[in-house]
Amino acid sequence: MSFLRLEHVHKRFGSTIAVQDFNLEVQMGEFVSLLGPSGCGKTTVLRIIAGFEQPTAGTVHLQDQDITHQPPNRRRMGMVFQHYALFPNMTAADNIGFGLRVTGVRREEIRQRVAALLNLVQMPDLGNRYPHQLSGGQQQRVALARALAIQPQVLLLDEPLSALDAQIRVELRGEIRRIQQQLGITTIYVTHDQEEAFSLSDRIVVMNHGCIEQVGTPFEIYNYPATSFVARFVGAVNQLRCEVLDPHRGQLRCGNQLVTMPGPLALQTGAIATIMIRPEALQLGERGGANRLAGQVCAITFRGPLVRVQLHLDNSESLVVDTLNTRQLQLPQIGDQQLISFAPESVWLVNGGG
C-alpha cells in the first residue's frame, strides 16, 4: 500500500495546462524527486500535494485518505521553499518553534524540540539569531528544521538549494539526505538539477510539459531513458541519424560506417533511425567495444575530471567523447583523424528497437 498517491491529477491555469494525467505512488520513507526543466509542472504538483493548489481533476490520497480538498494547514506537510521563507520578525528558534506554537504545544516542550532540531541541523548556538543575521545556507537549515518540527507526514522541498552557492549546495544536499534517512521521513523534492536528483533520490520522476516522461531509480533513469527527452535532459547524449542495413542482425549505417546494436531491430531495411549514446560510453582508440567510428577532432574541452573531445564524422554529424582525465592521458590534436570505439550494449534506438 502506497503512503502518498496521486491519481489522474490535472491542473489548468486558464488555457495553460500545467499538469496532465499525473499518477504517482510514493512509499513510506521514500525520497522521490520531481525533475524537469522550468515550467514543466513539477512545482505545481508539489503545491497540489501541499494543498496550495487545487487540482482541476484527480485526487491526492495520503495513507488512503482523500486529502484533495483538505486545507494546507490541516495536512501536516512540512514545506521548505526556494528562498527559505523564514519569518523575518522571529529568531531562528522562534521560526522552528512556530508550527508547534500555533498548534498549542506547551512552551517547555517547544523549547526542548527546538533545541533538538537546532542540533540536528548543526546550529546549536544560533537559535537567537534573526534570519537577516544568518547566511543563506544557515537560513535554509533553519527552514528545514522548521519544516521538521511539526513532525510532518510528508516533507516537501521546492528547489531548496537553488539559491545557494555551489559548495554550500553540495554540503547541504548531504545534510538533507542524512536527516531524511535518520528520520525515515517520506520526502518529495523538486529540482531541475539532475545531479541533485541523482545523488538524493530513491526514485526520480522526470517531467516535461506537465506529463511524466519516466519514473525510475537514478540508475534506470540515466542508463535506460524511456524517451529521447529523458536521455537528453539527464546528462549529455550523442544522437546519430542512421540507416537500417540489416534489422535481424541489428546493423545500421552511419554515413559510410557500420554500427551494431545489441539485438534485432523492429525496423525495415532502409528505414532512417536515430541512435543515442552517452559521451562517457565512447572510448578514444580501439579498446572500448566492437563498434568503431572514425572522425576528425574538431574541439577539445578541459572539464576538470573529464576531457571532452568533439569529432566530426564523415556524414557531417558530430559526436562528443568524454574521457577520464589522468596525468598520463594522451590527447589527440585538433584536426587529427581519431578512431573511437564502443560496446553495442551502450547504444539505444530512439522510439523502439535497440
Q: Which is nearer to other proteins, 74 or 303 (CB)?
A: 74
CB of 75 vs other proteins, minimal distance in Å? 8
Contact between 99 and other proteins (CB under 8 A)? Answer: yes
Task: Tell me which of 1, 15, 38, 71 binds other proteins, using CB under 8 A.
Answer: 71
CB of 170 vs other proteins, minimal distance in Å? 19
Q: Which is nearer to other proteins, 6 or 50 (CB)?
A: 50
CB of 97 vs other proteins, minimal distance in Å? 10
Q: Which three cell numbers stand for residue 136?
A: 543563506
Task: Tell me which of 6, 20, 30, 98 binds other proteins, using CB under 8 A.
Answer: 98
Q: Which is nearer to other proteins, 172 or 319 (CB)?
A: 172
Task: Tell me which of 48, 93, 134, 321 binds other proteins, using CB under 8 A.
Answer: 134
CB of 159 vs other proteins, minimal distance in Å? 13
Q: Which three cell numbers stand for residue 251?
A: 546493423
Q: Which stretch binds other proteins (CB under 8 A): 94-102, 161-169, 231-239, 278-286?
A: 94-102
Q: Which is nearer to other proteins, 134 or 242 (CB)?
A: 134
**Beta-bridge partners for 299:** 310
CB of 40 vs other proteins, minimal distance in Å? 21
The mark string for 146-175 relative to other proteins (x by CB under 8 A, - otherwise) is: xx-xx-----x-------------------
Q: Residues near 227 by Cβ (< 8 Å), separated by ≥ 6?
A: 213, 214
Report how many residues bind other proteins under the rule CB under 8 A. 36
CB of 24 vs other proteins, minimal distance in Å? 20
Q: Which three cell numbers stand for residue 331?
A: 590527447
Q: Which is nearer to other proteins, 86 or 349 (CB)?
A: 86
Q: Which is nearer to other proteins, 139 or 214 (CB)?
A: 139
CB of 112 vs other proteins, minimal distance in Å? 18
Contact between 130 and other proteins (CB under 8 A)? Answer: yes
Q: What is the footprint of other proteins within residues 179-238 (CB under 8 A)?
A: none
Q: SS3 string of the chain?
A: CCCEEEEEEEEEECCEEEEEEEEEEECCCCEEEEECCCCCCHHHHHHHHHCCCCCCEEEEEECCEECCCCCHHHCCEEEECCCCCCCCCCCHHHHHHHHHHHCCCCHHHHHHHHHHHHHHCCCCCCCCCCHHHCCHHHHHHHHHHHHHHCCCCEEEEECCCCCCCHHHHHHHHHHHHHHHHHHCCEEEEEECCHHHHHHHCCEEEEEECCEEEEEECHHHHHHCCCCHHHHHHCCCCEEEEEEEEECCCCEEEECCEEEECCCCCCCCCCCEEEEEECHHHCEECCCCCCEEEEEEEEEEEEECCEEEEEEEECCCCEEEEEEECCCCCCCCCCCCEEEEEECHHHCEECCCCC
CB of 82 vs other proteins, minimal distance in Å? 9
Phi, psi dihedral angles at 157 (to 5 degrees): -125, 120
Contact between 16 and other proteins (CB under 8 A)? Answer: no
Residues that bind other proteins in the complex, under the rule CB under 8 A: 50-52, 71-79, 81, 83, 85-89, 98-99, 101-103, 129-130, 132-135, 138, 146-147, 149-150, 156
